[in-house]
Structure 1
Amino acid sequence: MSNLFGLLTLKKESVPLKSIEVQLEVKDHVAAVVSTLNYENKEDKPLEAVFVFPLPGDAAVCHFSAQIGETHIVAEVKEKQQAQEEYDDALSSGQQAFLLEESDQSPDIFSLSVGSLPPGESASIRLEYVTELAVEADDGLRFCLPAVLNPRYQPQGSQGPSVQVTSVPASLVPYSLSFSARVSSPRPISKVESSCSLEPLQYLNTDQTQATVKLAAGHKFDRDVELLIYYKDAHQPTAVVEAGQASAKPGTLMGDPVVMESHQSRIASARDTLLLLLKSLPMGCYFNIYSFGGSYEHVFPKSAKYSQKNLKRALKRVEEMNADLGGTEMLGALQHIYGQPCIPDEPRQLFIFTDGEVCNTKTILDEVKKNCEFHRCFSFGIGEGASSELINGMAREGGGCAQFIVGNERMQPKVMQSLRLALQPLVSDISLSWDLPKGVSATILSPPLRSLLQGHRSLIFAQLTGECSEATDGCLTVRFTAAGHQCQNQLHFDLQAAEGTANDSGCDQKGDLPLTCFTTHRLVARTLIRSLEREQRENGEEVEEIKRVVELSLQSGVSSVFTAFLAVNKSNGKAVQGPLIYRENPTHRQLRHGVWLDLMSDDSCGEKNIFRRIFSSWRKRTSANKHGKSLKKKQFSGDSEPRKSARDPLLELVSLQDASGCWLLDPCLAAALGKSTEDLEKTKPASAKKDVWATILALIWLHGVQVDAKDEWDLLARKAALWLRAKKALCIRDWVEAGNVLLGCNVQTDALGL
């Protein structure tokens, strides 16, 4: 418990951050967030507090202000070094000052310095940001308010200190949280879910397009607050036109209207997830497994043909892999994989599982982007504290999608949802064309679209310039080639800007901007700033590029790595008596145990996809394993001996499937089905071969007993059905009927895909 003393004052009182209040406003798939942090200095001396905290990696921080007594001060965005110097000068002259800056290593980490807070004084800090909501594979929109900031792994030889944050047990987090959300959309809101306890959803109108929800009373901010928002007709494309700021110069980003187009084409344990993933791969593909930490290892020298022999070898090697590779350094493994030649016309697909605790986020994302033309990347953040910038960024730069697994969520359904996306045909030759009134033109501000995935949202930002005589419609046409066919989608939108977005006088009495003010402009600014920062990293310390970032940050009021928010209260000029007491506010860290993976694979399209690499990483062994209890070697090795330990019946059955898709008629299968070997043998139709009968029984059991878990076994069941169809059995319906009798099910032949 000695590590707790750094969290207390000399009087053993709590650190000065007392509470956090969060208001969330969601409009369709964009969120505006206002966080109010309340500080109190109970020391008998002036105090400086530093609070390091995470935000979504793609958030645009656009407002920062402070309330001290009756004095309200609004921060300005300034060049970072200038802001730091002015902050130090303010403290030296006895003035109160507040500094908000983004980490140089990772854009999802911020530090807030509260300077020269007098004894007995309180301060309220208001922080506002806007962000896009990530789309889950089940069409839910995910918002996460992070509670955890784990110390990030620092690669050997890298420069700059990693972020160090004092951590405390959940029960000792010294500040409370209140959280409320308002959701509105052109489409009805079907439900809002959370891993935390919520009060019932309250609809504000009869068509259910507006609703409010809040955390239940008594919530402790000891874990991430995650909301999953579901709309009806989620696949309908949408467009938002936002008018420019009246006081801004025409022709600039903030002065012109912008349009945001939303286009949408039509682990339990990590070991179990790897098992499901490997069993679901189609015959004819190639794969490999990598583990990484401070170093990396792989199963095969190069991608191996997917066969029962290689599958058994891979699973056996997975059992033998050590989790003590150190750290979370994936860059070396990525570079090795990218260095392997691709099979012609077979783009690589990477499935990456990680807890996201790295500090060289930007370097990793640059590496993924550099190789984006040769692969698609599907990333998974495991556990509390996974870097949203790393997980979302790898998927964004790699043209795939991101998923987060937190709390007690099962990893398997989310992984299989992403695998279905990976099995979609590749989309190529993507082009955009605009149909706008005469005198109006559009300039694309978002990165080029490189991929489209069915059920996955793609955002397009554009700046509209020029004027038209009357309000009218515009149209965006997206053309692409999929599976050799020319396709196109059109989205019509009203050029009239949404009401309430262009009013410069829409501030509250304190001078704070409303939640909905210029959200789209600021998201566009954030996109441009990140693009310019990336160019600067690629080209070195280019003064001109840094200047462009700073200018855009100052114009839009959105933070960047080269700027910071500074607020100085110049009304109090008393000299500081004695040194400031420094306090670092703790962030709760939750200890996690388990076997983590990081997966990668490749494909072409359809059921004959070619998977080249599966990239896996194990973070830490289970706590039981740490105490010397070894994992059973034949847990899912593919051997046909009955298992001695009880397992989930579904995973037991999955572990017995052959790489080709069939099952064998043996004691292990009988045990998994809850029958004896004699039962299976004596009920087998005389004309049915043993492997055909076994496969029919396995499929009937999946469809009849495990229907609620279909998301997990659907792909491997399709492979089994494909294997059965290739046998061209004439009595298949009679055999299915016999299987139903044995297993007590009533599954139709057509439902099995036969």
Structure 2
Amino acid sequence: MNYCGLLTAQKNPVPLQSVEVELQVKDHVATVISTLNYQNKEDKPVEAVFVFPLPGDAAVCHFSAKIGQTHIVAELKEKQQAREEYDDALSSGQQAFLLEESEQSPDIFSLSVGSLPPGESASIRLEYVIELAVEADEGLRFCLPAVLNPRYQPQGMETTTRSLRLPRLPSEVPYSLSFSARVSSPRPVSKVESSCSLEPLQFLNSDHTEAAVKLAAGHKFDRDVELLIYYKDAHQPSAVVEAGQDSAEPGTLLGDPVVMLSLYPEFPESVMSSRASCGEFVFLLDRSQSMDLVLHQLLSFFQDTLLFLLKSLPMGCYFNIYSFGSRYESIFPMSVEYSEKSMEEALKKVEMMEDDLGGTEILQPLKHIYSQPCILNQPRQLFVFTDGEVGYTKEVLDLVRKNAASHRCFSFGIGEGASSALINGLAQEGRGQAQFITGSERMQAKVMQSLKFALQPVVKDISVTWDLPEGVSATVLSPPITTIFQGQRSLLYAQVCGKVLVRSHIFCVKLYVVWFRHEQKTTFSLISVPFSFSSVQRLTVHRLAARSRIRSLEFEERENRGKSDEDVKKKVVELSVQSGVSSGHTAFIAVNKDSGDAVQGPLVRRDVPTPASEPEPPRRDPLLQLVSLQKASGCWMLDAALASVLGKNNKEVEESKPAEVSSEVWATILDEWELLAVKAASWVQAQNAPCVKECVDAANALLGCRVQKEALGL
């Protein structure tokens, strides 16, 4: 048998026995408590290393270990100091545990369980808090990654001495998973769905604002556990005010209240009606060998998705398609004007693509794209499709941030184990939106939502003002809001300072937005609520706010390389230690100083494997044939191919057509599909066609539908 990863001399699995996960969701943030149970079944002491993924924007806030009856709570310390204490403990024969974030990517953590004697068991508990992403269908998404795919390191790039090896098993992992979730919100929970089998949802009160759910028995931790939580009236602005910690000093982050605002502004009709009819749309596809377990299946997803995208682009825009691996190539030397001819040429080349471009080197194609001059009055919109398996995430994000003023970036994480740090970071730094597509999940709906956002007007300036009680001030901890979309949530954290607040105090927040081509400032009165303090004392909001501020400082540090680095690093370490939230400059260290006699014998190093990704074969969308027949202008031709897709023969369609109407208008009115339908309706309107109502009525009769003319925008 061809084993993957490191095993014992007897080819037994390394000593991770089980994983227990408890998810506690409060509105749209979550606390995740994971317990990892180890046992050394060898006749020698071991150092077990488990490399695992966490969401890139997670705030790790607790780490402890239990060995026998001894319980040790880890401390956060400056990373190099923590490493030295860990090594010193091992050399002294003491049991030690080290949890640290990878220097290459903030979504990779390594847990070193050092000096575990023969037969000894250890239970590791770690806790983190995270914001839940909003999906295209308004569900809140939580993902527990099962797969950590190897991060690709280009030739010539140096790695750190603690660069992490990422072993994988072909299918099943030798440890079990138990998973439970508890959800509470001011709004009723309507449903909870998952990519895995769940036990029935249990409502815990009569108004359905609290619910609990568990994974069904027998789950094998061979794929990501994805949970989608749906609330009623999810798109309402809201605020959570979390009281400070009683034992913390006022004026510090933990000692003062922290406000978390959830913003869902409704844009005025004057803005939304001016949907962009121009733009430069650049699509960047991952064709690397890091995808070879999935890309031969997902390549058809890419091709189908590009079909939807290209058919939906507005006439008069520009576009190009790049693909990359260890090298990159483009369909056109530079972006070309969108037309029937250029669209057909691009689709033919997309159909010929194969997964043959080597490693995952995304930096060079990004540099090339940014080096291309922007086209006058054609805002650049970049769509990136990748599994995110790169070993230099921070360098990629630095590049995107430096070019943020020239474009918007919409990123898509493909497959199990996609790097959340890279995918979310691309969107955050590129003022766009991130989406994750796993297994056989339908890609088109998420991609089309991002295209709708890309067609919304570009924001020129965003500002926020606070109306607070006298003697009270707010210090915003989040990075400045640089982009906002109709239908997308934005979160904002602020530390509230000043006199003691009471529930009768009211605060109001207003958002001011200026769009390009709409120079008049638009004001949104987003929230006006009393200071109603959260009764939960987990400090979830404080820790997320600290994580937000730490990430801002880390970006500032990389941007201002030089003398100021040490000052910024000092701020990060101080805030990290004070708030108990991990950072790139700190690590959790726990040492059992009462472990008794020194462990005898050499220490054996073992790595814990993670499972290989095995996506299900993709299913071709039944609408794709219909979409493929649409012309670049938005119309369809009345022919046998269209009749076949509609489930009719050519004669039936011809005989149903009103006599006064052209074949193209009749064929176009037969179809409706999101942006494709908008484009089709615009084409029909441009024809000044008579008898539109009669066409819609005849199409309803032919296809058995009940579509109203107004629903088509006609």
TM-score normalised by length of structure 2: 0.91
Given the alignment of the two structures, is residue 481 of structure 1 paired with residue 481 of structure 2, yes or no? no
Distance, in Å, in 2 between the alignment partners of 1:649 and 1:261 is 41
The residue type equivalent to 1:92 in the other structure is S
Q: Which runs of 5+ in 1 are unaligned?
A: 502-516, 596-645, 703-712
The residue type equivalent to 1:187 in the other structure is R
Distance, in Å, in 2 between the alignment partners of 1:190 and 1:747 is 28
What's 2:609 paired with?
A: 586
The residue type equivalent to 1:571 in the other structure is D
Note the C-alpha offset of 1:490. Answer: 2.7
Task: State the Cα deviation string for residues 292-323 of structure 1 (Å, max 9, x = none).
Answer: 11122112222211110111111122223443
Instruction: Judge conservation of contact 1:93–1:573 (CA < 8 Å) in 2.
Output: no
Distance, in Å, in 2 between the alignment partners of 1:244 and 1:66 is 27
Instruction: Judge conservation of contact 1:79–1:562 (CA < 8 Å) in 2.
Output: yes
Note the C-alpha offset of 1:247. Answer: 2.8
Once structures 1 and 2 are overlaid, which stretch shifts more, 687-696 or 173-182?
Answer: 687-696
Instruction: Judge conservation of contact 2:501–2:531 (CA < 8 Å) in 1.
Output: no
Distance, in Å, in 2 between the alignment partners of 1:235 and 1:135 is 10
Match of 1:253, SS state, is coil
Instruction: Judge conservation of contact 1:136–1:402 (CA < 8 Å) in 2.
Output: no
Q: 2:495 aligns with which of 452, 463, 476?
A: 463
Given the alignment of the two structures, is residue 732 of structure 1 paired with residue 677 of structure 2, yes or no? no
The residue type equivalent to 1:183 in the other structure is V
Change (3 A) 1:202 1:470: closer
Note the C-alpha offset of 1:159. Answer: 1.5
Given the alignment of the two structures, is residue 657 of structure 1 paired with residue 630 of structure 2, yes or no? yes
What's 1:563 paired with?
A: 586
What's 2:535 paired with?
A: 499
Once structures 1 and 2 are overlaid, which stretch shifts more, 731-740 or 43-52?
Answer: 731-740
Task: State the Cα deviation string for residues 610-665 of structure 1 (Å, max 9, x = none).
Answer: xxxxxxxxxxxxxxxxxxxxxxxxxxxxxxxxxxxx97542111101110001112
What's 2:207 paired with?
A: 207
Match of 1:269, SS state, is helix
Match of 1:170, SS state, is coil
Change (3 A) 1:730 1:199: same
Given the alignment of the two structures, is residue 387 of structure 1 paired with residue 419 of structure 2, yes or no? yes
Matches within 5 A, 1:98-497: 98-160=97-159, 163-171=164-172, 173-266=173-266, 269-468=301-500, 470-471=502-503, 472-482=505-515, 484=518, 486-497=522-533
Change (3 A) 1:468 1:548: closer
Note the C-alpha offset of 1:559. Answer: 1.1
Given the alignment of the two structures, is residue 714 of structure 1 paired with residue 674 of structure 2, yes or no? yes
What's 1:554 paired with?
A: 577
Note the C-alpha offset of 1:744. Answer: 4.8
Change (3 A) 1:544 1:14: same
Note the C-alpha offset of 1:591. Answer: 4.3
Instruction: Judge conservation of contact 2:94–2:593 (CA < 8 Å) in 1.
Output: yes
Note the C-alpha offset of 1:143. Answer: 0.5
Distance, in Å, in 1 between the alignment partners of 2:342 and 2:12 is 60
CA RMSD after TM alignment: 2.1
Given the alignment of the two structures, is residue 572 of structure 1 paired with residue 595 of structure 2, yes or no? yes
Instruction: Judge conservation of contact 2:510–2:523 (CA < 8 Å) in 1.
Output: no
Note the C-alpha offset of 1:375. Answer: 1.9
What's 1:668 paired with?
A: 641
Distance, in Å, in 1 between the alignment partners of 2:612 and 2:637 is 47
The residue type equivalent to 2:252 in the other structure is T
Match of 2:412, SS state, is strand
Change (3 A) 1:495 1:114: same
Instruction: Judge conservation of contact 1:152–1:163 (CA < 8 Å) in 2.
Output: no
The residue type equivalent to 2:149 in the other structure is N
Change (3 A) 1:647 1:198: closer
Distance, in Å, in 2 between the alignment partners of 1:55 and 1:659 is 42
The residue type equivalent to 2:88 in the other structure is D
Instruction: Judge conservation of contact 1:269–1:594 (CA < 8 Å) in 2.
Output: no
Note the C-alpha offset of 1:732. Answer: 2.4
Distance, in Å, in 1 between the alignment partners of 2:548 and 2:455 is 29
Q: Which runs of 5+ in 2 are unaligned?
A: 267-297
The residue type equivalent to 1:239 in the other structure is A
Distance, in Å, in 2 between the alignment partners of 1:52 and 1:196 is 23
Once structures 1 and 2 are overlaid, which stretch shifts more, 484-493 or 116-125?
Answer: 484-493
Change (3 A) 1:54 1:470: closer
Distance, in Å, in 2 between the alignment partners of 1:647 and 1:499 is 48
Instruction: Judge conservation of contact 2:440–2:617 (CA < 8 Å) in 1.
Output: no
Given the alignment of the two structures, is residue 532 of structure 1 paired with residue 553 of structure 2, yes or no? yes
Change (3 A) 1:25 1:746: closer
Note the C-alpha offset of 1:217. Answer: 0.8
The residue type equivalent to 1:572 in the other structure is S
The residue type equivalent to 1:527 in the other structure is S
Instruction: Judge conservation of contact 1:98–1:113 (CA < 8 Å) in 2.
Output: yes
What's 2:19 paired with?
A: 20
Distance, in Å, in 1 between the alignment partners of 2:135 and 2:85 is 43
Distance, in Å, in 2 between the alignment partners of 1:740 and 1:477 is 46
The residue type equivalent to 2:473 in the other structure is S
Distance, in Å, in 2 between the alignment partners of 1:748 and 1:476 is 40
What's 1:612 paired with?
A: none
Instruction: Judge conservation of contact 1:147–1:223 (CA < 8 Å) in 2.
Output: yes
Change (3 A) 1:654 1:122: same
Instruction: Judge conservation of contact 2:193–2:227 (CA < 8 Å) in 1.
Output: yes
Change (3 A) 1:747 1:458: closer
What's 1:693 paired with?
A: 666
Note the C-alpha offset of 1:449. Answer: 0.9
Aligned residues: percent identity?
Answer: 67
Note the C-alpha offset of 1:742. Answer: 4.2
Change (3 A) 1:251 1:743: closer
Number of equivalent positions: 674
Instruction: Judge conservation of contact 1:106–1:389 (CA < 8 Å) in 2.
Output: yes
Note the C-alpha offset of 1:746. Answer: 4.8
Task: State the Cα deviation string for residues 204-258 of structure 1 (Å, max 9, x = none).
Answer: 1111111111111111111101101111111111111122223333322222221
Note the C-alpha offset of 1:70. Answer: 0.9
Note the C-alpha offset of 1:7. Answer: 3.9
Note the C-alpha offset of 1:61. Answer: 0.6
Distance, in Å, in 2 between the alignment partners of 1:479 and 1:157 is 47
Change (3 A) 1:304 1:113: same
